[in-house]
Amino acid sequence: MNPDKLYIENILKSVLLIEEYLKGVSFDKFKKNSMLIDAVSKRFEEIGENSLKVSLKLKLKHKEVRWINLSKNRNFLVYGLVNVRRIYQEAAKEIPKLKIAIKKIKKEIK
């Protein structure tokens, strides 16, 4: 099995969970719900961790994915630099684009 397949599947799983967690949730509700903040933060960490393991070959082939930003988001969270507004904005803005790209990559990987 191609190791990238596992990492891409893990990223997609986290993307789908973030979408599920935030469906119909406003920023005001999000910022008041520590469990939701923790859940979304954990998923961003997972996305970042798995993105670090994706092969350079795949990253170079799929430059539409902002790989470096995925790992930066992880680093902000791991090192305790949690910014609730930034987490919510990243989820709202980047997750839909990432979902499209990762689904495309998943189809290509054997």
Per-residue tokens: 10: 């893990």
Going from the C-alpha of 23 to that of each of 14, 26, 100, 108, the distances in angstroms are 14, 9, 17, 28
Could you report the per-residue pLDDT of 16-38, keeping only the tens digit for each? 999 999 999 999 999 999 999 98
Burial label for 40, CB within 10 Å (0-12, 13-18, 19+), is buried
Amino acid at 82: V
Instruction: Provide the 3-class DSSP secondary structure of residue 63.
Output: coil
Could you report the per-residue pLDDT of 45-87, keeping only the tens digit for each? 899 999 999 999 999 999 999 888 887 665 555 545 568 888 8
Q: Is 66 an active-site residue?
A: no
- Selecting among 43, 66, 74, 86, the annotated active-site residue is 74
Helix (H) or strand (E) holding 21: helix 3-22
- pTM: predicted TM-score of the whole model, two decimal places: 0.90
- In angstroms, rounded to a whole number, what is the distance separating the alpha carbons of residues 66 and 90? 12
